[in-house]
Amino acid sequence: MRAPVLVLGLLAVLGCQAVEVKRPRGVSLSNRVFYDEMKPFTCLDGSKVIPFDRVNDDYCDCTDGSDEPGTSACYNGRFHCTNPGYRPMYIPSSRVNDGICDCCDTTDEYNSGVHCQNTCREMGRKEREELEKKAEMAREGMLLKQQYIEDARKGREEKQARLQEMVEKRQSSQAEVDSLRSKKEEAEKPEKEAKEAHKNEWEERREAEKAALEKKQSLEAFTELDQDSDGTLSAEELLSRSELDSDGDGSLSDQEAQDLLAGLQSVDVSTFQESVWPKIKEKYKSKSETPSPPPIEEGADSHPEIQPEEDGDGDGEEGGDDDDDEEEHLDEEHRAPPSKSQGEESEMPPYDDATQQLIDAAQIVRNEFEEASKSLREIEDTIRNLEKEISLDFGSQGEFSYLYGQCYDLTTSEYTYRLCPFNRVTQKPKVGGSETNLGVWSAWAGPENDKFSAMKYDQGTGCWQGPNRSTLVKLYCGKETVVTSTSEPSRCEYLMEFYTPAVCQQPPEIPQQEEHDEL
């Protein structure tokens, strides 16, 4: 049996002085109390008590491997390297003397013949440098953060004051809008009345003109139809007027002519105007109109033989009786179709001065009202925005408030990602195309004890056959405010890394080399 206890020459620090502490190989200083060479050893899991000389005897007695911390006898043992100059650590005791240097202080390879270099000091130096760099960054970040906190405090006060001011302004602006609305309504009433009166007058005039025109046309028609000029119109006198045909056979029968006269033998001019003319005016063609282009289809279907072939060549027709001058004169007079008088086509004349003055006066008040309403809307928008901003959680000291209203971009090989803190995250293809919403501000999403370490944006554009897009933004301490990476760990679920001084903390003291050493 081998000597049970290997006394290790270890360094202890009292102030800056190293002192040797005896303990079995592979045991940490904190566990040393369990390995008293004067007493039997109790396995650390309490499962067994063995004589002390069976500790590190290269035979595994304890189920937890605690009797063989310095050999590879137990598959589940732990070997402790003190690694002076770097950091202490445990390695599985199965790696002891396996020919591979695991501990930077070389102590795991004490009997394998492998020559290990002690790299602890070098590793410790590198680690301290690294920590120093981080600490420096945290210190610089902290300075900026202090500034942000101070700015946020001032900003919050300003915003509160501005909100207060806007709320008061809204009241007076609302009152102004209300009073201008009344003024507007007051001015619009006479304006409306005057405009309506003007319109009515114009319509009445138009109606009268129309009626007069119609009367004139009907009288002319009567005169023309009353072939024997006896002052009455008989059914017989109508017979030659095939255009008044109602059954579509192309000619006007006795019966049809009588029907037009409502069963009377003949009618005088006033009966004609009252009850016959309204029935025939759409169809009636004055003979004096004949030189004008005929309604080809209608004429061709019914009486092709009596339609004039060319203008002015219809010698056999009734119109041939009139001489050329008279024909031209009549033609001009009857040019407008009876259904569409000149009166109907004309536009409403401009308003008279009194009406125009009322319109102008109303327009001035309308403009004032519109302007006041616009400024009230602007005040309301400002209030809404201020209330929203004030209600946002910008960190325990407002340190994140400087991010509000800002956006930070990161371009990858395919997309430009944009983070607008407390607002939204977007993704835009570099080759062009529209922006995709990767989520709108939802909440702080860090763990309970560090909630300001992550932000959640959700309810973005729907993903085809998937969830709405969302983004988790992880925050890290940095001197600059910058998005350093984006990824899509799961389809349409994005991850962003964002550096900001706002999450920097006072860096911990960097331990000196000796203090580092586990004893």
| Cβ(468)–Cβ(460) below 8 Å | yes
Taking CB under 6 A as the rule, does residue 464 contact ligand MAN?
A: yes
Taking CB under 6 A as the rule, does residue 496 contact ligand MAN?
A: no
Q: How would you classify the pairing of strands 49-50 and 78-81?
A: unpaired
Taking CB under 6 A as the rule, does residue 437 contact ligand MAN?
A: no
CB of 467 to ligand MAN, least distance (A): 10
Residue with tokens 């006060």: 157
Which residues have CB under 8 Å from 231's CB, separation 6+? Answer: 268, 269
Tell me whether residue 368 or residue 488 sits nearer to ligand MAN (CB atom): 488
| Cβ(503)–Cβ(453) below 8 Å | yes
Taking CB under 6 A as the rule, does residue 239 contact ligand MAN?
A: no
Taking CB under 6 A as the rule, does residue 290 contact ligand MAN?
A: no
CA distances from 214 to 243, 282, 347 (A): 19, 12, 20
Taking CB under 6 A as the rule, does residue 416 contact ligand MAN?
A: no
Taking CB under 6 A as the rule, does residue 436 contact ligand MAN?
A: yes
In the list 217, 427, 470, 486, the residue contacting ligand MAN (rule: CB under 6 A) is 427
User: What is the chain's percent helix, strand, coil content, to nearest 5?
Assistant: 45, 15, 40
CB of 465 to ligand MAN, least distance (A): 8
d(CA 69, CA 80): 8
Taking CB under 6 A as the rule, does residue 491 contact ligand MAN?
A: yes
Tell me whether residue 217 or residue 470 sits nearer to ligand MAN (CB atom): 470
Tell me whether residue 309 or residue 464 sits nearer to ligand MAN (CB atom): 464
Q: Candidates 10-18, 56-64, 344-352, 487-495 — which segment interacts with ligand MAN by CB under 6 A? A: 487-495
Taking CB under 6 A as the rule, does residue 488 contact ligand MAN?
A: yes
Taking CB under 6 A as the rule, does residue 56 contact ligand MAN?
A: no
Taking CB under 6 A as the rule, does residue 492 contact ligand MAN?
A: yes
Taking CB under 6 A as the rule, does residue 112 contact ligand MAN?
A: no
Tell me whether residue 145 or residue 469 sits nearer to ligand MAN (CB atom): 469
Tell me whether residue 391 or residue 434 sits nearer to ligand MAN (CB atom): 434
Please provide the DSSP assignment of 162-202 as one string: HHHHHHHHHHHHHHHHHHHHHHHHHHHHHHHHHHHHHHHHH
CB of 73 to ligand MAN, least distance (A): 53
Cβ neighbours around 319 below 10 Å, total: 18
Query: Tokens representing 399?
Result: 């340190």
CB of 459 to ligand MAN, least distance (A): 15
Taking CB under 6 A as the rule, does residue 463 contact ligand MAN?
A: yes
CA distances from 9 to 15, 31, 454 (A): 18, 16, 48
Q: Three-state secondary structure along 84-129? A: CCCCCEEEEHHHCCCCCCCCCCCHHHCCCCCCCCCCHHHHHHHHHH
Taking CB under 6 A as the rule, does residue 113 contact ligand MAN?
A: no
Residues engaged in binding ligand MAN (CB under 6 A): 427, 436, 463-464, 488, 491-492
